[in-house]
Amino acid sequence: MDDYYLADKSRLLGKPKKTIADYVEQNGLLVPRRFETLSEARNSKLPVLCRSEHPQDYDGVSGLLSSPQLGDGLPDTNDEDELKGFLLGWDKFGWIINKYCKLLKCDESRFKEEISFSFWERIYGSNRMIVADNAIKERYHIITGYHAKNYTTNDEFNNMHISADNHPAYTIIDNGRIKNLLGKIPDTKKELYNLIDNYERIRHLRNFNNNNCAIMEFQTLNGVHYFLQYYYNRLFKESQFVLDRKKNADEKKPLFLRGSTLPEGQVFKITIAHPKNYNYDINCGEEGYFGRMELDDIYFEMMAKKYKISINRSIRLNWIESMRNFSTLQSSLFDAVQFGHLTRSQLLKPEITLIANRNNIMRKKEYDSFLDKKLKIKKPMSIDIYVISDGRNAYFKRI
């Protein structure tokens, strides 16, 4: 069925996070407590998040605005307009809104007028994102933030020791089989299966298109899952073949895979480097991108769902003492999942996502030469890559 909210975005009431949460709770699932006013939130004496709201949040850019906690440097006021004015004055709000509006060619003043906040009780524990695979049935990708399974206060959460047991995790559950690509999940199998059950219950509610591989955010505390957000992502399109042949001599196997191609494979033109001071255009038709997962550039977030393919360059993170025993894949996933929405989107939103060793596409000297030419080139530099993927197995080669 069609999505009720995309058919008429006014149904989101200008607050997609709260509107969807109210709907999910009405259908019997757990959601953190929401407060109708800032004054009510303060009077509760509970830890409260000021969750940013904008009509575009439902199917647009993720992580566009921050959601600070009351008391975390915010003014002591019950005036929501005053609070909004203070938050919009933050540099980290200002520059990203400005660039977003320029790329979208929309009126910045009107965009700011549409920003609001909803007030939620903060639930500690493990924050996670879950999405159904867009090519394989009964396959799910789960990103879990720093584990704080039993922590229930701000001090406990902020002071927890970050170790291999509680750093971010990337888990794939494929037809009930659990595989941790990064990190260790403290949840029991039952708790993880319950998370998937919650995901599918929400996915199949009447107002949503149940063929959509929605990205949902949950908070897990003591084995209990609290729904936080629904993001409209890609429609499911089942893989039409099984790649059971051996790779050819000139083909390479990616370290990580999500998504499928046509049975005969496909050739994609992927961007290697943009010119310095490039006038980015989100309607340029760019098919894909090869490079390190970007943290601070809203352009790549806006393009993530437009990309037919994203090939993320594997890296090593030698600056974290406890992470030196990571494999190359684990280092790359850690780099992607630790920073939140902007990097996670590049894993979960493109039609196809690969993580590949840079040397399997080009040597460092050639790659560096591409980057050096950024000062001289006037349009993006790109290469052609052939990819064949059935959703579980893939090969690629440079053309």
Extended beta strands in 197-318, E state: 212-221, 224-235, 256-258, 266-273, 288-291, 309-313
Q: Residue 294 has what pLDDT?
A: 54
Q: Are strands 116-121 and 48-53 parallel, antiparallel or unpaired?
A: antiparallel
Q: Residue 160 has what pLDDT?
A: 46
| pLDDT tens profile 139-160 | 999 999 865 554 455 555 454 4
Q: Residue 312 has what pLDDT?
A: 85
CB 84 within 8 A of CB 116: yes
Which residue reads 């003014």 in tokens? 75
| pLDDT tens profile 254-271 | 999 999 999 999 999 999
| Average pLDDT of the segment spanning 205-212 | 98
At residue 276, does pLDDT exceed 90?
A: no
| DSSP state, residue 375 | G
| Average pLDDT of the segment spanning 286-305 | 81
At residue 214, does pLDDT exceed 70?
A: yes
Instruction: State the Cα torsion 82-84-85-86 to the nearest 10°.
Output: 90
At residue 41, does pLDDT exceed 60?
A: yes
The alpha carbon of 245 is separated from its chain's Cα centroid by a whole number of angstroms, namely: 32
Question: Taking the model in full, what pTM does it have?
Answer: 0.91
Instruction: Pick 137 or 274 by higher pLDDT.
Output: 137
CB 76 within 8 A of CB 54: no
Who's near 156: CB < 8 A, 6+ residues apart?
124, 148
Residue 247 has a CB neighbour count (10 Å cut-off) of: 15
| pLDDT tens profile 318-376 | 444 344 567 778 888 887 787 677 778 889 999 999 999 888 888 878 877 776 666 67
At residue 23, does pLDDT exceed 80?
A: yes
Q: Residue 319 has what pLDDT?
A: 44
Instruction: Pick 56 or 335 by higher pLDDT.
Output: 56
Percent of the chain with pLDDT over 90: 60
Q: Are strands 256-258 and 309-313 parallel, antiparallel or unpaired?
A: unpaired
| Average pLDDT of the segment spanning 103-114 | 94
Q: Residue 71 has what pLDDT?
A: 84
Name the nearest CA neighbour of 353 among 133, 61, 63.
133
Q: Which two tokens stand for residue 353?
A: 């996502």
